[in-house]
Structure 1
Amino acid sequence: MNEIERKNEIHQRELLATQLEIQQATMQQIGRELHDNIGQKLTLVSLYVQQMLYENKVSEASERIDQVSQIINQSLQDLRSLSKTLTDDNINQKEIVTLIQEEVDNTNSLKKCYISFKHNFKQVDLGFVHKNMLLRITQEFIQNSIKHSNCKNIYITLSTSEETLWELTIHDDGSGFDTSHITSNGIGLTNMKNRAEIIGAQFSLESEKNKGTTLNIILKKQS
């Protein structure tokens, strides 16, 4: 086996490991969504119906049925939304800026911190692997910052130029940390670096206590 074949084999193994990791995270998300969101709605529907049967008040039946119908419709919408996140079609059919903006909007709705997103992309045809890696790295950074840094703001910039296919920069204004202990703090930074390396992107991370953390990933165009 020559050097090129060996590198290709390593690349395929790393890509498979990342895919398996994503699948595991997705299954955990499914469990939480089914239990905490859709399960609660359907439980409420069951309670409404049981109450209707117990009370047997015809005058209130119409209002109760309407409430049940609304809850069921909302549950169906939630199921459709959840199913889209479980398929590759959600990533294949959308531009990377749309995928990141959706993540930003969802996080901002939780009001744990404020995230801004800027880009200069108009129409950039990125393949599934690149879009998937960019999205997962962005999600990982956001989750880490909210969980560990007590940040108030996160700033995301995605740009392209004559020299780069894309450049992703994310900065938070959180507490920062000692980057020499990345492997021991258990916040997924190694995973982000591995994902960047799989697609041949340059990875850099800078952090300083009380000044926040900055992630920069660059994928240069092939000459």
Structure 2
Amino acid sequence: MDETKYIIILIIFNLIFIAFIGAIIIFIREYRIKKKAHQKELEFVDICHKQELLETQVEIQMQTMQHIGREIHDNIGQKLTLASLYTQQLAFENKAPQVNKSIKNIGDIINESLSELRLLSKSLTDNSIELHSISELIENECKKINALKKCVVHFSKDSKTKIESYQIKSIIFRITQEFLQNSIKHANCKNIFVLLKDIDNTLVLTLKDDGKGFNVNTLDAGGIGLKNMKKRTELIGGLFKLESLDQKGTTLTIELPLT
């Protein structure tokens, strides 16, 4: 009888012990799940915060450039125009040929500076990113590079995606500009290929040159802004892929989910 009671007590103890161990395992598992969910929540909050900072930065940058552009046009431009008129009046009133020549040279410098300032003002106040589609922006930029006749840029597209976000369009466009400029300055390439297409509800931008390439692992990325390009791509939810081989060119791929 005592032995039976002992066995029952032992069984109950084992059951309690097993239940206790099971409770600990469940607690640990739930803790890990909650910790993982909390970590994801923190990462999501961090990404949202960075995106908000980026949006604010882009907006402030745009407003600042537009303000500077208007100041150049309305203030400095008018003063230079007035100075040009004064030099023309002096040349008309002065009869000394040598003095007139000097006045004319001054007037030419003022007019040249005025033209450059007008172009700068126009570029600063330009809202083409807001008005045009991403494909139009990239295609126009390729045409500008081709006009320089330093290399040939081949642009093709297979995309019907319409991006409404100024922030996303601005970042994709600026990355394209930076790649084109870096290829011209550093790669000694003859051709640059730009492809914009849709793949499985993802916008894919591929930029490739046939230049000298470089070692991605040993490159000082800060020198040509690769880290910044990668960071901006990730902030808009995109995937950044860079490949380069010595004497075989460089390829940059940006993948942006559309959902």
Distance across 1 between alignment mates of 2:146 and 2:85 = 29
Distance across 2 between alignment mates of 1:210 and 1:185: 22
1:130 aligns with 2:168: yes
Identity over the aligned pairs, expressed in percent? Answer: 35
- State the aligned residue count: 198
Match of 1:60 in 2: none
Q: Which 4+ residue blocks in structure 1 deviate beyond 3 angstroms? A: 13-24, 41-57, 81-85, 182-185
Q: Could you tell me which amino acid in structure 1 is paired with residue 53 of structure 2?
A: R
- Equivalent position amino acid for 1:170 in 2: L
Higher relative contact order (CA 8 A, sep 6+): 1
Correspondence list, 1:101-120, <5 A = 101-120=139-158
Q: Which amino acid aligns with 1:114?
A: V
Q: Which of residues 217, 221, 232 is equivalent to 1:195?
A: 232
Matches for 1:24-173 after TM superposition, within 5 Å: 51-54=91-94, 75=115, 79=118, 82-87=120-125, 89-122=127-160, 124-164=162-202, 166-173=203-210
**Secondary structure class of the residue paired with 2:252:** strand
Unaligned stretches of 5+ in structure 2?
A: 1-37, 98-103
CA distance in 2, matches of 1:10, 1:47: 53
Q: What are the Cα deviations for residues 137-163 of structure 1, in whole angstroms up to 9, with x where unaligned?
A: 001101111111111111111112442
Q: Please, what TM-score do these two structures have when normalized by structure 2?
A: 0.61
Deviation at 1:100, TM superposition (A): 1.3
Mapped to 2, the partners of 1:46 and 1:138 lie a distance apart of: 44
- Paired residues of 2:55 and 2:167 also in contact (CA < 8 A): no
Following the alignment from structure 2 to structure 1, what is the Cα–Cα distance between the partners of residues 231 and 252? 14
> Does structure 1 retain, via aligned residues, the 8 Å contact 2:175–2:229?
yes
Q: Is structure 2 residue 211 aligned with structure 1 residue 211?
A: no
Instruction: Report the structure number with the largest CA radius of gyration.
Output: 2
For 1:145 and 1:22, how far apart are their aligned partners in 2? Answer: 26
One-letter amino acid of the counterpart of residue 205, structure 1: L
* 106-115 or 190-199: bigger deviation: 106-115
For structure 1, list consecutive stretches of 5 or more residues without a partner in the other structure.
58-63
Q: Distance in 1 between matches of 2:84 and 2:190?
A: 35
**Against the structure 1 CA distance between its residues 99 and 7, is the aligned structure 2 distance closer, same or farther, given a 3 Å change threshold?**
closer
Root-mean-square deviation (CA), in Å? 3.9
> What is the letter of the counterpart of residue 232 of structure 2?
R
Distance 1:216 1:123, change over 3 A: closer
Q: Call closer, same or farther: CA 1:9–1:84 in 2, change over 3 Å.
A: same
Structure 1 position 10 matched with structure 2 position 50: yes
| Closer, same or farther: CA 19–102 of 1 in aligned 2, 3 Å | same
Q: 1:113–1:154: 8 Å Cα contact kept in structure 2?
A: yes
1:132-186, Cα deviation, whole Å (9 max, x unpaired): 011100011011111111111111111124421x110000111100000244561
Local SS of the residue matching 2:50: helix
Higher share in helix: 2
Instruction: Give the counterpart letter for 2:198 in structure 1.
Output: T
